[in-house]
Structure 1
Amino acid sequence: MRSAALSLGLISGISAFRIPLSQALEQLPLADARKELVSSSGLQDQIHASNLLDRAKVLYGLAEQAIDEYNHPTRVIGSKGHLATLDYIYSTIVGLGDYYDVTNQSFPAVSGNVYESRLVLGHEVPVSARPMGLTPATKNKQPVYGQLILVSNQGCDVADYPSDLAGAIALIKRGTCPFGTKSELAGKAGALAAVVYNNEPGEMSGTLGTPSPNHVATFGLSDTDAAPFVHKLKHGKKVDSIAYIDATVDTIHTTNIIAQTKGGNPENCVMLGGHSDSVTEGPGINDDGSGTLTLLEIATQLTKYSINNCVRFAWWAAEEEGLLGSDYYVSVLSEEENLKIRLFMDYDMLASPNFAYQVYNATNAVNPVGSEELRDLYTEFYVSHGLNFSYIPFDGRSDYDGFIRNGIPGGGIATGAEGVKTEEEQMMYGGVAGDWYDPCYHQLCDNLGNLNATAWEINSKLVAHTVATYALSFEGFPARTGTNSNAMELEKRKYHGPKLLM
């Protein structure tokens, strides 16, 4: 989740979305007459920060089940913490009675763990050096020694890799093609390891993506740390280097959990999801415990009401490994089942401590039609409550990506990850300018102390508002016409998940 703001604003003069009573009555035969028909105000009234925080305490306790294996709490896929999370979600939904049909969807997922790493260039240990996600280990999980060799251009063609790279360590500029392609070409050229340095200011947290037998141990490096070595190599000087990564890349099976209401029109489903897993480094109580638990609480409270359109909740696994769960789910949908999903809403990180109210800037011009209507529903909510909001890029960093690639309108809200809060945003939301929205993003400290209860409750009420709105009626919302996406240049995106791809 996951981006800095594109534009900021408090929009005035927009009234809150309302469903005319006549439209609701026209759809009433689809609802369960034994229960009150869902309303936005009614469902929102059931959402309380105290209930969310109680669930967070449970979730942290589940993450602690992984301490024996990982030496700290985590809910990474394959861990006891994640297995316990799945059991908690499933048992909670099943315990609600016969309101939902619940499905466990198992799928293969690539999981990577780095246990130790070190990069030495000349006599320096660059502080920004980070192993790429899904990197293999160095040979025999031992340090490798070699000259640092500069690769030409951006290292996207075989011809860019010099003949003397065999037995050396490749230094490659970021840009043009994915990191996985650079690592693979370096491996084919005989490199012992690869270092990809940033072509823009800042550090770099990337992933190699789908494993290849030709990948070599690969680090990411900031532009600043790389600059003196690039200069030396361009002037013919030698740089002795050492690379070491102890890592594993395995394929395991993990599980998506899908819960769909038995009531409501099954041909018109409002779908929403969040991911159930965390990174290896921590328990993930904000990322994405906050989204996971918001969905669980709303699914619980929705059982008090009847609905006109079906509601489908999803808890994705392996989001942190590259959106694997949501991608798999969409990939196996038939065209008929795809078209039953009127829209998908992504909820990833709703309680960041240094929060901003962020809305994905999903326009119809470059996304499936309906995405912009959903975006506007979010902004209308914030405006109606006198709250500021920020538009953020709809750039592929979370689980909506597979949906919009397959023609399903999408959108979502968030409260920020590693992006830096500006002074203007401090005026809008409070908090600390110059700090990350979530200073504990992807770290061990993403625990119970890493939640802003006020932001979490407001955003959970907004999620409830979206669910109630579309569970009641899709009047005025664009009809689905096909599964082809009008999203532009999707394959050129830098992200497919939380880590950079290129």
Structure 2
Amino acid sequence: MNTASKLLSATAASVLIATAVASAGSGAVQTGTKTHPGHHSHGSHRVTPDSPQAKRFVKGVTVAEITAHQTALQRIASLNDDTREVFSNGYQESLDYVVSTLRDAGYSPQVTQFNFPVWSESQPPVLNRVTPPKTYVPGDAADSDQPIADFITMANSPTVELTDAPVFPVGGIVDPPTGGSESGCEAADYTGVSGKVALVQRGTCAFVTKWSLAQAAGATGVIIYNEGNTAARQNPIFVDNQPDPPATIAAVITSYTLGNELLQAYKLGENPTVDLKVYGTFTDRFLPQVIAETRGGDRDHVVVVGAHLDSVEAGPGINDDGSGTATLLAQAEELANGRYHLRNKVRFGWFGAEENGLVGSTYYAHNLSQREVDKIDVMLDYDMLASPNYVRGVYDGDGNAAPDNPAGPEGSGKVEQVFDDWFDAQGLESVRRAFDGRSDYVGFTDRGIPSGGVFAGAEGVKTAEEAAIYGGAAGSWYDPCYHQLCDNLITVLTGVPPLDAEGLAPTGDEAAKRAAQRAMAGGAIKGLTELSAAASYAVYYFGASKDPFSAKVHKARKEARKVGTRGPDYAWHGHGNRVRR
């Protein structure tokens, strides 16, 4: 029994075993093998789900070991205000735990630094109406949703000074406000805004979407005013989301009263102008993350396996991504103890600040030399493997599961196929998840590295069809505790979210919520069992296989190097700071 196992008391171990046994016979329906279009057999490759060494490795990465590490992470969070977010003591203690566990297993982990620039305002912002003159009161994050301020700068705004700038209301404003405004949600709404400050009403789409569209249309600045349709939508609020591409114009969020004044002035033909001055700045700030690799294996053929070490501020993150963090630790220990003699080098990464925009992993991948990139065969990303209302999600590497799914770099379809092969061999159905840029593979796909992973689900709503396949509760989130305090060890071990979990039958009454609890009980451990097995098989497959990718993949990567491309650009969709609307 390794270090992690010793962390479980006899009582906790009994609970775990009982939960695992119960979940093994609960709810989820095993179906026949699913056929995935465009996927073919491995042909001459020797590693298959039936390979004895592959089966031994998968069996050696036990759920007991994984949950032992999750127990340690929960203990750390409990001692640190129930969080392991990247700026907390809980994150540093989580990092120390990973490092000590790896050293005990015989690794030489490296604590590397990544740059997470901090945004701040060097002086208060200015928003004045020029004619007739009126000065508005600035606020900051501490004044969010309070009537004491008239406007607040959106985080990540650059330094911009505009004087006597014309204000232009964009399309879609609902006046008087009745709710559901789609103002500024489409590019067509910005016709005529070039060279002017866009006046946009809050509504159904994200603030950051409005900001990005205004910038693309040539606006010189953005004033987003609160919608005004309810008492809760009157005051200015602080929003911390990053537009993509990064902002070159400033954005502020104002009270409904301020925005409506400018709107009515425009409607009366007064052609209002404003002084808009924002003094945003970024300061370098370096934070730690952990990299460790196997002693053996070909240094010119590296398998990167990643998870994120941080949680959100709101909770301990024992599923998101304590499940990935713990699975990687168990895999690393099994490789160290099992004498597998893999052909290729396996490099594990516990990345930081994923919840703040994939910061650590992107910094790591983007700062690799091209020579180092060329040595990486594949990136496997494991983020959220223990969702109570789980599905067996596989990233759609070749992008062929739905018309709008982006494909990963050439070779990502092969990664998808490897997961398919494992699930097919177990007689288990799986579902495709879009390669949509919400986890730590993004920095690697930017560099053209084939990538993939498995995923149990976050705030998406389980369908009736999925409930028939996997069990659980249709109409509830895959993880009802996503980004909440209840993403904790109790929820993982029991699979029962509390009644106040945001994603538990969100449109239902108490009876519906209790029924949903019963439907998904035991699901987190069951999902972790199935998804961690697939995750471990893929690690072994790519670690043991000689040249698993086709000549087409090698040619594509060679051509990409010639023209200097970095692979598809996946926009971050806000897995960290929740995208505000």
1:107 match: 114
Q: Does 1:457 align with 2:529?
A: yes
Distance of 2:334 and 2:119 partners within structure 1: 37
Distance of 1:348 and 1:178 partners within structure 2: 25
Amino acid at match of 2:111: N
Other structure's SS at 2:145 match: strand
Choose the corresponding residue for 2:384, options 338, 342, 349.
Answer: 349
Q: Kindly tell me: are residues 458 and 206 of structure 1, through their superposed partners in 2, closer, same or farther at Cα, counting changes over 3 Å?
A: farther
Other structure's SS at 2:459 match: coil
2:307 match: 274
Other structure's SS at 1:446 match: coil
Amino acid at match of 1:454: K
Q: Kindly tell me: are residues 189 and 270 of structure 1, through their superposed partners in 2, closer, same or farther at Cα, counting changes over 3 Å?
A: closer
Distance of 2:266 and 2:334 partners within structure 1: 67
- Calculate the aligned-residue CA RMSD, in Å: 4.5
CA deviation profile, 1:42-92 (whole Å, cap 9, x unmatched): 11121222222221111011112332xxxxx11111100101111111111
Q: Kindly state the Cα deviation for residue 253 of structure 1 after the two structures are TM-superposed.
A: 2.1
Q: Kindly state the Cα deviation for residue 476 of structure 1 after the two structures are TM-superposed.
A: 3.8
Instruction: From the two aligned structures, give the one with the greater strand fraction.
Output: 1
2:135 match: none
1:151 match: 170
Choose the corresponding residue for 1:313, options 348, 351, 356.
Answer: 348
Is the 1:273–1:316 Cα contact (8 Å) retained in structure 2? yes
1:44 match: 58
1:200 match: none
Any residues of structure 2 matched to 1:56-455 within 5 Å, and which? 56-67=70-81, 73-97=82-106, 100-110=107-117, 117-118=144-145, 134=155, 150-152=169-171, 154=186, 160=193, 171=202, 174=205, 178-181=209-212, 194=225, 207-209=241-243, 215-218=250-253, 252-303=285-336, 304-305=338-339, 306-363=341-398, 366-451=407-492, 452-455=524-527
Distance of 1:500 and 1:374 partners within structure 2: 30
Q: Kindly tell me: are residues 118 and 9 of structure 1, through their superposed partners in 2, closer, same or farther at Cα, counting changes over 3 Å?
A: farther
Is the 2:447–2:566 Cα contact (8 Å) retained in structure 1? no
Tell me the percent identity.
Answer: 30
CA deviation profile, 1:217-242 (whole Å, cap 9, x unmatched): 549x9xxxxxxx9xx989969xxxxx
Is the 1:274–1:348 Cα contact (8 Å) retained in structure 2? yes
Is the 1:286–1:349 Cα contact (8 Å) retained in structure 2? yes
Is the 2:382–2:455 Cα contact (8 Å) retained in structure 1? yes
Q: Kindly state the Cα deviation for residue 151 of structure 1 after the two structures are TM-superposed.
A: 3.1
Amino acid at match of 1:74: T
Distance of 1:489 and 1:311 partners within structure 2: 23
Distance of 1:235 and 1:10 partners within structure 2: 62
Q: Kindly tell me: are residues 473 and 119 of structure 1, through their superposed partners in 2, closer, same or farther at Cα, counting changes over 3 Å?
A: same
Is the 1:274–1:314 Cα contact (8 Å) retained in structure 2? yes
Q: Kindly state the Cα deviation for residue 206 of structure 1 after the two structures are TM-superposed.
A: 7.9
Amino acid at match of 2:361: S
Is the 1:90–1:257 Cα contact (8 Å) retained in structure 2? yes
Choose the corresponding residue for 1:474, options 546, 563, 573.
Answer: 546
Q: Kindly tell me: are residues 101 and 41 of structure 1, through their superposed partners in 2, closer, same or farther at Cα, counting changes over 3 Å?
A: same
Distance of 1:132 and 1:399 partners within structure 2: 29
Distance of 1:183 and 1:278 partners within structure 2: 32
Other structure's SS at 2:144 match: strand
Other structure's SS at 2:79 match: helix
Q: Kindly tell me: are residues 370 and 15 of structure 1, through their superposed partners in 2, closer, same or farther at Cα, counting changes over 3 Å?
A: closer
Other structure's SS at 2:328 match: helix
Other structure's SS at 2:116 match: strand
Is the 2:311–2:317 Cα contact (8 Å) retained in structure 1? yes
Other structure's SS at 1:63 match: helix
Distance of 2:227 and 2:486 partners within structure 1: 28
Amino acid at match of 1:464: S
Distance of 2:527 and 2:85 partners within structure 1: 25
Other structure's SS at 2:355 match: coil
Q: Kindly state the Cα deviation for residue 132 of structure 1 after the two structures are TM-superposed.
A: 11
Q: Kindly state the Cα deviation for residue 368 of structure 1 after the two structures are TM-superposed.
A: 1.9
Structure (1 or 2) with the larger CA radius of gyration: 2
* Uncovered stretches (5+) of structure 1, i.e. residues with no partner: 1-7, 25-36, 68-72, 121-130, 137-147, 198-204, 222-228, 238-247
Is the 2:116–2:287 Cα contact (8 Å) retained in structure 1? yes
Q: Which one is further off, 470-479 or 344-353?
A: 470-479
Distance of 1:408 and 1:464 partners within structure 2: 20
Amino acid at match of 1:276: L
Distance of 2:569 and 2:367 partners within structure 1: 20
> What TM-score results when the alignment is normalised by the length of structure 1?
0.72
Distance of 1:193 and 1:177 partners within structure 2: 10
Q: Kindly tell me: are residues 190 and 450 of structure 1, through their superposed partners in 2, closer, same or farther at Cα, counting changes over 3 Å?
A: same
Amino acid at match of 1:91: S
Q: Kindly tell me: are residues 329 and 426 of structure 1, through their superposed partners in 2, closer, same or farther at Cα, counting changes over 3 Å?
A: same
Distance of 2:197 and 2:249 partners within structure 1: 18
Distance of 1:16 and 1:132 partners within structure 2: 54
Q: Kindly tell me: are residues 439 and 161 of structure 1, through their superposed partners in 2, closer, same or farther at Cα, counting changes over 3 Å?
A: farther
> What TM-score results when the alignment is normalised by the length of structure 2?
0.63
Distance of 1:390 and 1:414 partners within structure 2: 10
Is the 2:447–2:567 Cα contact (8 Å) retained in structure 1? no
Is the 2:211–2:251 Cα contact (8 Å) retained in structure 1? no
Is the 1:174–1:196 Cα contact (8 Å) retained in structure 2? no
Q: Kindly tell me: are residues 342 and 93 of structure 1, through their superposed partners in 2, closer, same or farther at Cα, counting changes over 3 Å?
A: same
Q: Kindly state the Cα deviation for residue 281 of structure 1 after the two structures are TM-superposed.
A: 1.3
Amino acid at match of 2:170: V
